[in-house]
Amino acid sequence: MIIFIRHGQTTSNAKRLLIGRSDPDLTPRGESQARSLRRALGGVAQVWTSPLVRARRTAELALPHLVAEVNGAFIEVDYGRWEGRSVEDVGVEEWRAMRRDHDAAFDGGESLATVDRRVHAALDELLADPNSYLHRSSEHLAIVSHVTPIKSATAWALGVAGSVAWRTRLDNGSMTMIAARDATPSLVHFNLVPRWGEDEEGQRSPSAP
């Protein structure tokens, strides 16, 4: 199985800013979200992570016993000149234009179709390899990534158009699980968030709303 993990909350997430290739730190809440995943990841034997610090830090906190391997296929979309904009400041027509054309690039950045191509290529390799963790029943691969690549992976698992991403919500510190049977991927869980976790001092603390 592949367990996709969206990184914990960052300072930009807390301000509802679009973040792609910029690299803000996790907030204390984001670190708590990452730690709260530990008990759900007991079967993970290998971890991949986006090159960005927020994903690598989440991997360190969620899977402290494993050394993560950086995989650039799972980096967040490049928002170009949309980077750092408030979600609320993006006009309705701007959002509608992006929804209508999956191949349209964010101003100066990537298109969602480009993200699909790199994510799906990496997943196709895992699916084609009978020895990959995607085909194992008791050992799993964790991939710590971002909202756009994980939504892209979800579309891949379901065999549907990438535009389905606009109809889904993915929270910080969430897990999305994909398995395979008879060489066909399937979505097992989407946006699964532990309600409670333990911080480093053993205090029980909420990890997400």
Q: Give the active site residue among 31, 60, 69, 76.
A: 76
Tell which residue, 74, 86, 83, 72, has the closest CA to residue 15.
Answer: 86
Tell which residue, 81, 41, 85, 84, has the closest CA to residue 61.
Answer: 41
Q: Give the active site residue among 7, 83, 140, 146.
A: 7
Q: What angle do CA 146, 156, 187 make, to 5 degrees?
A: 85
Query: What contacts 138, CB < 8 A, 6 or more positions away?
Result: 43
Q: Is 7 a residue of the active site?
A: yes
Distance set, CA 192 to CA 158, 173, 205 (Å): 17, 9, 17
Q: Which residues are catalytic?
A: 7, 76
